[in-house]
């Protein structure tokens, strides 16, 4: 995956970033960004992943890769015991609502059994661990019935994916409260950025894959039932910064945090913004495609049978006040970077000069 050039100025390792970290799911979308983010800052990084990286996303050359199925406890125990990391970032998961609906058993095995296996492996094989950071989701809260979720809001997950992540979230907190593991939880909203190839489930890559279809631009698809859904969105680089801050701060031990959103949008508003910005970015390189992108609009289609929450919105005051965290990338800039990366991949824009840099953080 091509690096985000805007992030290359922050490559100087921090003084305290010299530990060995493990990232489960480190070949995934967020995981590959986090791997590069931490490697640039001087961490020694080992990726645990069931498979390698897809064609559009390469593993940072500074990271080691261990092939691991987290649903196998013995594999987890042996891998953790061999690595003896100071920090574990647990990102490996069945990561979408649709994947949970289509394969409930596989999704729950990955999200629940996989999390149990890693927690227990760390407990028995890694006594010197500084932090176990779990990437949870705002979907653990269920339907929004107030202005915004806080970390004290009632947890009301219902769907397969949502309940699987809620179960894992609770297990992580139990291993901290009851068994003394140094844990922290970050409940993520909808993450977007360069290198996300899940065009089947997530709205930003799905829309961009159609807008920049190699043959001709196609209108993005909006599911009929989600036209007025409201969601939080955040750029992947800021997620990497938040995960790192939580891992390094003593004040974050045992705590749960909501991720700070960059923006709150209806599905239609987000798709219309993607259309507008894609047309603007494309116009200097391919005016004909830019005009077609604008003229095509979007297409409303029937969605999957998976249950969908209507409204979600996170209050991230705790992340700000306890750790001093602020997002660096707003929605407009994040979409610009993401669109530019897709255009380079599709050879619509001039590629970057050759560089050893890797996914942005």
pLDDT tens-digit series, residues 64-118: 999 999 999 999 999 999 999 999 999 999 988 888 888 999 999 999 999 999 9
Q: Look at residue 55 and tell me whether its pLDDT is greater than 50.
A: yes
Residue pointed to by tokens 């890769």? 65
- Sketch the domain layout of the chain as residue ranges: 20-191+234-262+311-329
| The two three-digit tokens of residue 182, written as one number | 């140094």
Q: Look at residue 167 and tell me whether its pLDDT is greater than 80.
A: yes
In this predicted structure, what is the pLDDT of residue 201? 82
- According to DSSP, the residues that pair with 149 across neighbouring strands are 314
In this predicted structure, what is the pLDDT of residue 351? 58
Q: How many CA atoms, within 13 angstroms, populate the side-chain half-sphere of residue 101? A: 12
> What is the value of pTM for the model shown?
0.91
Write the CA distances from 245 to 168, 181, 358, integer angstroms: 21, 18, 21
Mean pLDDT is lowest, of 23-37, 290-304, 307-321, 346-360, for 346-360
In this predicted structure, what is the pLDDT of residue 306? 72
Q: Look at residue 357 and tell me whether its pLDDT is greater than 80.
A: no
Instruction: Show the beta-strand stretches assigned E in 5-70.
Output: 20-24, 44-49, 64-67
pLDDT digits (tens, 9 = 90+) for 242-254: 999 999 999 999 9
Identify the CATH class of 20-191+234-262+311-329. Answer: alpha beta
């Amino acid at each position: 995956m091509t690096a985000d050039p805007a992030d290359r100025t922050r490559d100087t390792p921090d003084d305290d970033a010299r530990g060995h970290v493990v990232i489960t799911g480190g070949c995934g979308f967020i995981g590959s960004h986090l791997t590069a983010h931490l490697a640039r800052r001087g961490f020694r990084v080992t990726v645990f992943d069931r498979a390698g990286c897809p064609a559009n996303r390469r593993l940072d050359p500074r990271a080691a890769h261990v092939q691991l199925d987290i649903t196998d406890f013995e594999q987890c125990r042996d891998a953790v015991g061999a690595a003896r990391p100071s920090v574990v970032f647990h990102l490996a998961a069945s990561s979408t609502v649709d994947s949970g609906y289509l394969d409930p058993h596989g999704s729950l095995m990955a999200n629940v059994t996989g999390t149990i296996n890693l927690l227990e492996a760390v407990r028995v094989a890694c006594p010197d661990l500084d932090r176990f950071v779990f990437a949870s989701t705002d979907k653990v809260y269920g339907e929004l019935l107030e202005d915004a979720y806080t970390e004290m809001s009632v947890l009301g997950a219902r769907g397969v994916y949502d309940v699987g992540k809620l179960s894992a979230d609770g297990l992580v907190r139990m291993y901290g409260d009851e068994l003394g593991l140094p844990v922290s939880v970050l409940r993520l909203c909808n993450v977007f950025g360069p290198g996300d190839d899940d065009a089947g489930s997530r709205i930003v890559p799905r829309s961009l894959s159609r807008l920049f279809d190699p043959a001709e631009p196609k209108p993005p698809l909006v599911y009929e039932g989600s036209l007025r859904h409201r969601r939080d969105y955040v750029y992947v680089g800021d997620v990497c910064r938040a995960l790192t801050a939580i891992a390094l701060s003593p004040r974050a031990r045992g705590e749960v945090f909501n991720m700070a959103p960059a923006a709150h949008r209806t599905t239609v508003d987000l798709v219309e913004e993607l259309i507008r910005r894609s047309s603007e970015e494309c116009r200097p390189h391919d005016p004909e495609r830019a005009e077609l992108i604008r003229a095509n609009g979007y297409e409303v289609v029937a969605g999957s049978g998976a249950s969908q929450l209507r409204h979600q919105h996170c209050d991230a005051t705790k992340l700000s006040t306890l750790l001093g965290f602020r997002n660096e990338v707003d929605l407009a800039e994040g979409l610009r970077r993401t669109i530019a990366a897709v255009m380079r991949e599709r050879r619509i824009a001039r590629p970057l000069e050759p560089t050893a840099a890797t996914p942005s953080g």
